[in-house]
Amino acid sequence: MNYISIKNNQTVPIADIPVLDYQQFRETNISLLIKHSDRHCVNYFGYAQGNSIKLICCIADDSTHEICISSCIVDPSKKFESMSSKLLCFERFERELSENFGITFVNHPWMKPVRYSYNRADKSSVMDNYPFFNIDSEELHEVGVGPIHAGVIEPGHFRFICNGEQILHLEIQLGYQHRGLEDLFLQKKNLLQRVTLAESIAGDTVAGHTSAFCYLWESLSGCDPKPEIDFYRTLALELERIAIHTGDLSAICTDIAYQLGSSVFGRLRTPIINFTQEWGGNRLSKGLIRPGKTQFPFTKELGDRLNEVLNTYEPDFNEMCTELFKLPSALSRLERTGIVSYEDVLSIGTVGMSARMSGLTRDIRTSHPYALYPQLNHEPILKHHGDVYSRAQIRREEIWQSMSYIRQLLKNIPKSKTNYDMPNKLQPNAFSISLVEGWRGEICHCAITDSDGDLAVYKVKDPSFHNWLALALAVRNNEISDFPICNKSFNLSYCGHDL
């Protein structure tokens, strides 16, 4: 076999991953994906081995629930035929490999910097000389937005090429939030420091990224999470989903000047995050999730309180949804705005809500199940028009689904034990992968340990890494005034992408 098949949250010896020559490696991974919409690349990264670079590619098969891992060793001074020339979903992974290690991929469609990492191969590549796409015409004009956002959100630069009000092309330049997080995971030797780093990858996805880190760490430690730990993490993930989706519905209403929806959905987010603070001391779930233990046991009293919060939230949420989704002036702004087709989301490899909006089933909760999702019999919410309206509908229905799951969980609150034994050392010379479905989509953490059982490589992939290109495609042929609502309907992460 040219690859090894493993399950989500499984650890294997690094020596068990087949090492191919580049041509075999390229053909193997392309053949795994071509004509297989049920497979996609969840991670593709490299790390230095002496003067060479070892490449690791992880292809998830959503039908068999397996992940196919293959590797190869390349000389970065040589040139290699890109995989992106056959499958566009590899384009950003290859740009990252080129930026970090100086590897030249021939026939790559658009080789540009990704995030200007501090240790990039070409230090002459800086923000100021980013090679923007140009169209030479006296009929067209460019509009630059950012990196400083008027609403003081995260920084990113958006450059539009427009014909009058119509957007022909959008280029998104990121990297302003780069903090060198992956290397910090190796530099910080204390487990508390590392889990704090996981919490800091993206402030709106604390439960998602921290759960992925904890499952990865427990797998490398040989520790099997107890059912009550799965309970806490599932609960935290669904509370985070409700809170962010509610806030995003408020933001969508803001961008179409629907003040009532903006105010009501904005108000409704507050009791959800306030409950998270009541449970764990922080509204964003920081400090709540830790490897192998529970810092904040979930009691029956907390369960009663959460039921009370949801029972108060639900009627107001339903009433506001009824108003929003029948209001002609709102629907005229949501329907057929910012469309991305099924063919495009499949081609560029989007994940999570950005795939499900166009009928592509990508949901780790069913395809590579973890925590308590198998018992909940999770079914992904699918829409088929790929527009702002589909993305708003998914948020509404996933909130209903999350409330249903939480109520099921609260019927059987497990007894808590404060701490569980965690081995001090990780398995040496091992590879592990963890996939978690955050509210935005698929989160992937990979790690490789050295001969002493310490982290040698730590690789993070936020769902935004896949999905930023979908936003650029969504705004084409839309009026530039539609950009805010398109942008908000995706709500992608800058810091999660930039790391």
Residue-wise DSSP of 285-336: -TTTEETTEESS---HHHHHHHHHHHHHHHHHHHHHHHHHTT-HHHHHHHTT
Per-residue pLDDT, 293 = 84
Residue 367 and residue 50: Cα distance in Å, rounded?
Answer: 37
**Is a pLDDT exceeding 90 seen at residue 1?**
no
Does the predicted model carry a pTM greater than 0.85?
A: yes
**Is a pLDDT exceeding 90 seen at residue 471?**
yes
Average pLDDT of span 169-198 = 94
pLDDT 10s digits, 406-433: 999 999 999 877 666 776 789 999 999 9
Q: Are 475 and 170 in contact (CB under 8 A)?
A: yes
Per-residue pLDDT, 413 = 92
Q: What tokens were used for 467?
A: 């999905």
Per-residue pLDDT, 116 = 92
Closest CA to 275 of 296, 245, 257: 296
Per-residue pLDDT, 152 = 65
Per-residue pLDDT, 151 = 66
Q: What tokens were used for 353?
A: 């809500």
Task: Tell the residue number behind the tokens 């990979």, with chain if given.
Answer: 446
Residue 49 and residue 15: Cα distance in Å, rounded?
Answer: 14
Per-residue pLDDT, 419 = 66
Task: Tell the residue number behind the tokens 């392309």, with chain if given.
Answer: 30
**Is a pLDDT exceeding 90 seen at residue 107?**
yes
Q: 34 falls in which pLDDT band (50, 70, 90)?
A: very high
Per-residue pLDDT, 204 = 94
**Is a pLDDT exceeding 90 seen at residue 146?**
no
pLDDT 10s digits, 332-381: 999 999 999 999 999 999 999 999 999 999 999 999 999 999 999 999 99
Taking residue 285's Cβ as centre, other Cβ atoms within 10 Å add up to 25
Q: 225 falls in which pLDDT band (50, 70, 90)?
A: confident
pLDDT 10s digits, 42-52: 999 999 999 99
Average pLDDT, the chain: 94
Q: 295 falls in which pLDDT band (50, 70, 90)?
A: confident
